[in-house]
Amino acid sequence: MRLRRARSGAFGTGLFSDPAWDILLYLFAARLRGETSRLADMVTDVPASTLARWAVVLEERGLICSGGDAGLMMARIALTPAGELRMARLLATLHRTDPSA
């Protein structure tokens, strides 16, 4: 996530965009820290409406879940157990391929 922010700093905002991946990374990092999260807390180059649309897609695919009725941007969101497992497996595979990553 730091690399993504540095990339925007080096090249400017609006050039790179991958909202679904940003949400998954953000939630995985929050889970590792034992924290809960809200889309509104994310620091990203994409508009809140775009984040919300992608969060709906991720929720429909069973990768994230939201709680509360404060609206998707303000609701607490988290990876589902399936989403967490898929992220952990992917990142472990990447680490085995390139331990410096």
Range of the domain at 65: 2-97
For 95, the 3-state DSSP assignment is helix
Angle, CA 69 vertex, CA 64 and CA 71 arms, to 5°? 75
Strands of 2-88, DSSP E? 37-38, 64-67, 76-79
User: What does the alpha-carbon distance between residue 18 and residue 32 come to, in Å, rounded to a whole number?
Assistant: 21
Taking the complete model, does pTM exceed 0.85, yes or no? no
- The CATH number that applies at residue 58 is 1.10.10.10
pLDDT < 70: residue spans in the chain = 1-5, 7-8, 13-16, 68-70, 98-101
Q: What is the pLDDT of residue 95?
A: 74
- Looking at residue 36, its pLDDT comes to 84
For residues 8-17, one letter each, b for 16 or more C-beta atoms within 10 angstroms of the residue's C-beta and e for the rest, the string is beeeeeeeee
Q: Count the domains in the chain.
A: 1
